Structure 1
Amino acid sequence: MKRRQQKKLSHRLFSAILAGDPGSVKTLLRAGASPERTDSDGTTPLYLASVQGEAGIARSLMEAGAFPDTESGGLGSEGTPLCAAACWGHTETVRELLTHGADPSLREDHGTGRSPLDWADDGSHADTAGVLRAAGARPVARPTR
Structure 2
Amino acid sequence: MNRRQQKKLARRLVMAVMFGEADEVDALLRAGADPDGRDADSTTPLYAASVHGATDMVRRLLAAGASPDAESGRGDQGTPLCGAACWGHTGTVRVLLDHGADPNLREDHGTGLTPLQWARNGPHPETVEVLLAAGARPQETTG
Q: TM-score, normalised by structure 2?
A: 0.92
Q: Give the aligned partner of residue 126 of structure 2.
A: 127
Q: Give the aligned partner of residue 71 of structure 1.
A: 71
- Find out whether 1:41 has 2:45 as its counterpart: no
Alignment of 1:16-95 (within 5 A): 16-74=16-74, 76=76, 78-95=77-94
Give 5+ residue unaligned stretches, structure 2: none
Provide the aligned length of Structure 1 versus Structure 2. Answer: 142
Deviations 1:73-128 (A, max 9, x none): 2464x211000000000011101100110001111111121100000011010111
Structure 1 or 2: more strand by fraction: 1
Distance in 2 between residues matched to 1:106 and 1:53, nearest whole Å: 19
RMSD: 1.4
Distance in 2 between residues matched to 1:16 and 1:141, nearest whole Å: 34
Whichever residue aligns with residue 6 of structure 1, its letter is Q
- After TM superposition, the runs of 4+ consecutive aligned structure 1 residues lying more than 4 A away are none
Deviations 1:23-54 (A, max 9, x none): 22112111111111111111111111110111
Give 5+ residue unaligned stretches, structure 1: none
- Partners of 1:68 and 1:97 within 8 A in 2: yes
